Amino acid sequence: MNILLKSAKIINAQNKELHLKKRDILIKDGTIDKIAAKIEAPKDTQVVDLKNLHVSLGWLDSSVCFGEPGYEERETISNGLRTAALSGFTDIVLNPNTHPIADSSSDIVFLTNAARDSATNLHPLGTMTMGGEGIDLAELYDMHNSGAVGFYDFKSPISNSNLLKIALQYVQNFDGLVYSQPLDVKIAGKGLVHEGITSTKLGLKGIPSLAEEIQIVRDLFILEYTEGKLHIPTVSTANAVKLIADAKKKGLNVTCSVAIHNLYFTDEVLEEFDTAYKVYPPLRTKKDTKALIKGVKDGTIDFVTADHIPLNIELKAVEFDNATYGSVGLESAFGLLHTLFDTETCITLLTQGKERYNIAENDLAEGRKACLTLFNPDVDYTFEKSHILSQSKNSMTLGESLKGKVYGIFNNNQLILN
């Protein structure tokens, strides 16, 4: 396949010669053949000439759920990867949130095989414990050899401190990455939303910030004792950012992420008891969102993520207490993020971090594999149900004013466009 991208503004801060320049980009058989001010289209070449076309290296999302196997009614692997591609993502890290859960090498092989011919690369996580039950370690080494990029009992905290200690020690033999969900379940109790003024006003049981922070303190102490590689997913409180910043100053090998909706929304949106806003970790206060945004800007927070969780309507169209946590977010990720940060910052956030998962880095240069995201950052629009590409439609972003349209991606010698 030969592709010519016409008059594409390149966003790649690492390449000073091309950054913010408009160039034609000729791609032959999946490789960038030529980058120049003007290129005549060779024979048998598809010309892509889109309004205000911008191009960057392919984007990564570090927290994505589908449904297959077991919950195909929520999302299949094929449609999930198509959704990711049309949302600008050339790489996604897939959470073990299926049935059966991915806790063995054969489960990892199934997932990688199912995604083999897709434009978007799927990088699976395996569970840290058997069945994700937090009791016995899963087959970490075997899953690693089969392609697992880390180990995570999805949204389930590791209550057994010694188990986390052993996992961090064990994975050092093969440079493995351990996740630890920041939640002390005893302190969280039966909480549903952030504990504060809004929860009190609405009469909903609250999850105090302390429940997140005390678990992070424990995890960081264990990491300091064991060494190893730790990732703390989807932090949500101001003090969590401070704790992780202090740990990084001490030289601990820790990374963390934040869900984009935790940067944008606060718990004030819960006043209508709309289950679309029931997510975990919960939406918190303006003080927290300000601290999280600051943490993103200063590099304390390593990843922004859509924290994409498709859920069929039966799990959301119920009383607030009984609704399942989660929202789809791939389709609105760029538009939402671009309301908070300028274009260059957004692209930096969306393209960084592959080395944490030992995913091969790329470059936007002649002779390199073409792994690109195509977008127009200057489109303003209201996010509507028609914009949701997932099988499940549980989006908390409906009705929001977003900025930036994704055209699609070119990756694995495939052009996927909206």
Task: Locate the DSSP E strands across 88-220.
Answer: 89-94, 121-124, 178-179, 193-194, 206-207
* Helices 286-298 & 238-249 angle (0-180, nearest 10): 30
Nearest to 6 by CA among 25, 20, 21: 25
Please name which of 393, 351, 400 lies closest in space to residue 83, comparing C-alpha atoms. Answer: 393
Contact 159, 185 (CB under 8 A): yes
189 Cβ neighbours under 8 A, 6+ residues apart: 205, 207
Please confirm whether the linkage preceding 100 is cis (ω < 30° from 0).
Answer: yes
What does the radius of gyration of the chain's CA atoms come to, in whole angstroms? 21
The residues near 394 (Cβ < 8 Å, ≥ 6 apart) are 276, 309, 310, 311, 313, 315, 316, 326, 327, 328
Number of CB atoms found within 10 A of residue 47's CB: 12
Q: Which two tokens stand for residue 415?
A: 């052009």
Q: Is 411 helix (H, G, I), strand (E, B) or coil?
A: strand
Instruction: Give the burial string for 9-44 (b: 16+ CB within 10 Å, else e).
Output: bbbbeeeeebeeeebbbbbbebebbebeeebeeeee
Active site residue 307: yes
* Alpha-carbon span 123 to 125, nearest angstrom: 7
Helix axis angle, 209-226 to 238-249, nearest 10°: 10
Measured distance CA(26)–CA(36) in Å, rounded: 9
Q: Which two tokens stand for residue 198?
A: 């809004």
Residues in a beta bridge with 376: 405
Q: Which entry of 33, 307, 363, 380 is annotated as an active-site residue?
A: 307
Residue 217 to residues 224, 240, 244, Cα–Cα distance (Å): 11, 9, 9
Please answer whether residues 252 and 302 qualify as being in contact, where contact means their C-beta atoms are separated by less than 8 angstroms.
no
Which residues does the annotation mark as catalytic? 307
